[in-house]
Amino acid sequence: MDKIRKTVQAMQGYVPGRQPKGRFVKLNANENPYPPSPKALEALGKTAADSLRLYPSSSAEELRQAASEIFEVPADCIVAGNGSDDVFTMIIRSFLDEGDTLAVVDPTYTLYETLAEIQGAKTERHPLSEDYALPESFFESGAKLKILPNPNAQTGTLFPEADVIRLCESAKGVVVIDEAYALFAGSNSLPLLKRFKNLVVTRTMSKSHSLAGLRVGFGMSSPEIIEAFNKVKDSYNLNAASQLAAAAAIRDTEYTAGVVKRINETKDFFAKALASLGWQVTPSGGNFLLAKPGSGDAAGIVAYLEQEGYLVRHFNTPRLLDKIRFSIGTTEQMEKLIELLKNKE
Ligand SMILES: Cc1ncc(COP(=O)(O)O)c(C=O)c1O
């Protein structure tokens, strides 16, 4: 269809993890196996008739206030998004003109590149080293925008704070640190916001807060950058129910810490169990593990697990083809998974 923009015709589009209905144990999209905070569910139930009849706060005022208290970042340095993916749209719209360059590492979360493509911008991919450390070329790149998840998506690698500092110091443009998994890693870059005006930190409620279905994320930076995000974002980007429930969930720090602790404990158990079966396990700061089976037949194992009712993630890219990414489920689910893998041997 020639009416569609050439860039859009040429692009493949982002491929999300499958969301089939029914009998599967879903370990393919880094969702959280535990329910969200009861306080979030209570807030959802109380969403009054009036708050649905009227438009929501376009700036998600109360939610940003709650985020400000918890993250210890001023409210005018925060924007709320319909998931952090929405914040990445704001970021790309704000910093990249057609023909500009985005720098990312490889492998990583591929949505950044898709959004840059829509904007008509180019993407430079900088391959991580054999053990997934940042390459020199990523620091040296003069790209207008660099986006790095920390911990990294797909691999789980936690990059040291010194790397983030070096990136901010050496960048010609803006550095975005995507902290979707930061609570699992127990380390973050928020304190660096005071020091670097070219830094943006993003967060999501989808992982540690069990609210992937609600779609809530945040971008944090200097007031000037947040002002730009407010200009390019969709006007009512967060619905009223999301704003109320997410504000309650983010304040329930004790509940979130409990869930994160359980998932990290299960991750440690699962990593040890996989290693004892001869898998090569990549150390992970996230709620998932990337691992390579001794047999090398990742695709065969993924198909077998699906038959047994377990969905896991297999990426059809050269460096990930021989590996599987397992989101961490409940301890019972991961114990059962280990039994299934033993039976396959
Ligand atoms: C690194 C990374 N950032 C962001 C997201 C998406 O977050 P959200 O659900 O807030 O859009 C994901 C989802 O898997 C992710 O892996």
What domains does the chain contain, in order, with CATH numbers? 6-30+254-344 (3.90.1150.10), 38-252 (3.40.640.10)
- The token pair at 314 is 């297999």
Does the beta carbon of 152 lie inside 6 Å of ligand 1?
Answer: no
Strands 199-204 and 174-178, sheet pairing: parallel
Q: What is the pLDDT of residues 99-153, one digit of tens each?
A: 999 999 999 999 999 999 999 999 999 999 999 999 999 999 999 999 999 999 9
On the question of pLDDT at 179 being above 80, the answer is: yes
Probe residue for ligand 1, chosen from 14, 26, 85, 87 as the CB with the greatest number of ligand atoms within 8 Å: 85
pLDDT at 296: 87
Q: How far is the CA of 250 from the centre of ligand 1 (A)?
A: 17
Query: How confident is the model over 293-317, as a mean pLDDT?
Result: 94
**pLDDT computed for residue 13 by the predictor:** 86
Parallel, antiparallel, or unpaired for β 174-178 and 145-149?
parallel
| Nearest-angstrom CA–CA distance, 122 and 118 | 10
Q: What percent of the chain is predicted at pLDDT more than 90?
A: 88
Q: How far is CA 217 from CA 33, 83, 197, 290, 293, in A?
A: 19, 4, 21, 24, 34
Q: How much is the pLDDT for 224? A: 97
Please give the full DSSP string across 271-330, using - where no structure is assigned.
HHHHHHTT-EE---SSSEEEEE-TT--HHHHHHHHHHTTEEEB---STTTTT-EEEE---
Strand partners, 291: 281, 324
- The strand ranges marked E within 14-165 are 25-27, 78-81, 101-106, 122-127, 145-149
Q: 254 CB contacts (<8 Å, ≥6 apart)? A: none
